[in-house]
Amino acid sequence: MKKPLLLLATLFTLFACTYPQSSQSSKNQENIDNVASAPIKMGAEATDKYFPLIEGKRMAVLTNQTGMVGDVHLVDMLKHKGFDLVGIFSPEHGFRGTADAGEHISSTVDKKTGIPIWSLYDGKGGKPSTKTMNKFDVLVFDLQDVGLRFYTYYITMARMMDACAEHGKEMIVLDRPNPNGFYVDGPILDMKYKSGVGSLPIPVVHGMTLGELALMINGEKWLPSKRACQLTVIPCENFTSNMKYELPIAPSPNLPNIHAIYLYPSTCLFEGTVMSLGRGTSFPFEVYGHPEFSGADFSFTPRSVAGAKNPPLLNKKCYGVDLRNVPNEYIWENGFNLSYVIDAYNNLDMGDKFFTSFFENLVGVDYIRTMIKEGKTNKEIRAMWQDDVVRFKKQRQPYLLYTKQSD
């Protein structure tokens, strides 16, 4: 029984030597409170706070498979309670959370309740028509986020805040914890790279819940209309941003577990390269590889699967690096880590052809690609955005809802 444990320890020792810890990011481990004094209560569970706000009003909800209130889905609960629920807006991946990233999804009807589902990913710009907006008085928003600038649920939230502001509708955000909420890292988006995977001047890892971010969007006047949304945030209870929070339901098809969610800030950058990050396997965002990656014993082959129908390097055997055994503590300590991308760039040795134009949409600035090509280290590149982190932490301070948030 000792040999497997010795092998695992040896493997991680080798891995840690390949990817040294960042001294600045080591503070992330200190920011985590491991023990909650009481079970975390989701905003959706605080019905006494928002039921009076929706009583007697035509209501729409924006939610997906994560919108659970205990063992019951929010839609089913509201329907059972007799509220006038006239429509369901669905975000990226759809109401059931099974569609591919960015996949067009047609509007339909929920078979269980008969309520119309209005897709915001139907190829019509992500905002509802005036006709649709006129069908309800108040919008209830409940999505589980993972706290990254390139994860699209906050963009959907901001668009709906803008639509509600434009049409004079109320919006209620039922807050949920951010599993990456215990740190802030990465450069602030240069708005010349604004896109469908980055729409606000925030760092890659912003350390805020969607409720806090909604307050910041209003307060900083970031909505395109420059008008404030009539907003109410129902906060979580018994939660601070320093806590570790493991999601009970996968927020999207390619983030199947908490380990993938912790790696996601760093490994998502492979979406802007020629590499595969494991879409089309059972371990997306936990590996990286390419058919021409050299010196690796580990391999995988992306296949067409639910949630990744046409993944990069489909049906091609990729050699690379398996990150599934990297401890969570290591990931926390190193934060937004460019070491993986730098390793792959150096291995393939193809220069600028390693990157696609999407890379800047993800990192949000132009200097990271340049510095990687110049042979700079992860530590050297990280130094470039430390002022961004300090500035953003100060800027967001008035909007934080959960005490003990480390600055």
Whether 406 has a pLDDT exceeding 60, the answer reads no
Domains of the chain: 43-244 (3.40.50.12170), 250-385 (3.90.1150)
For position 159, what pLDDT does the model report?
A: 94
The yes-or-no verdict on residue 377 having pLDDT over 90 is: yes
- Say which range, 8-22, 106-120, 284-298, has the weakest mean pLDDT: 8-22
Average pLDDT, the chain: 89
pTM of the model: 0.89
* CA separation for the pair 56, 198 (Å, rounded): 37
As a whole number of angstroms, the distance between CA 316 and CA 304 comes to: 11
Which residue from 382, 375, 275, 380 is spatially nearest to 321, judged by alpha carbons?
275
d(CA 103, CA 244): 31
Q: What mean pLDDT comes out for the span 367-394?
A: 98
**294 pLDDT band (50/70/90 cuts)?**
very high
Q: What value, to the nearest 5°, has the Cα angle with vertex 319 and ends 377 and 295?
A: 65
pLDDT at 27: 52
| Residue 334 confidence (pLDDT) | 98
Q: Counting every residue, how long is the chain?
A: 407
- Beta-strand pair 84-90/298-300: unpaired
Check residue 288 and give its pLDDT. Answer: 98
- What is the amino acid identity at position 311? P
pLDDT by residue (tens digit) across 58-113? 999 999 999 999 999 999 999 999 999 999 998 865 575 444 444 455 678 888 88
Instruction: Residue 373: count other Cβ atoms within 10 Å of its Cβ.
Output: 13
Which residues are 33's β-sheet partners? 243
Q: How far apart are CA 268 and CA 325, in angstroms?
A: 18
Residue 391: Cβ within 10 Å count: 13
Task: Please give the backbone phi and psi of residue 61, each rounded to the nearest 5 degrees, phi first.
Answer: -125, 150
Q: Name the token pair of 260.
A: 């993938």
Residue 35 has pLDDT above 50, yes or no: no
Mean pLDDT for the stretch of residues 17-29 = 45
Contact 180, 148 (CB under 8 A): yes
Q: Is the pLDDT of residue 248 over 90?
A: yes
The pLDDT value given to residue 328: 98
pLDDT at 37: 61
Q: What is the pLDDT of residues 310-358, one digit of tens each?
A: 999 999 999 999 999 999 999 999 999 999 999 999 999 999 999 999 9
Give a three-class secondary structure readout of 105-139: CCCEECCCCCCEEEECCCCCCCCCCHHHHCCCCEE
Q: Cα separation of 396 and 27, whole Å?
A: 19
121 vs 163: which has the higher pLDDT: 163
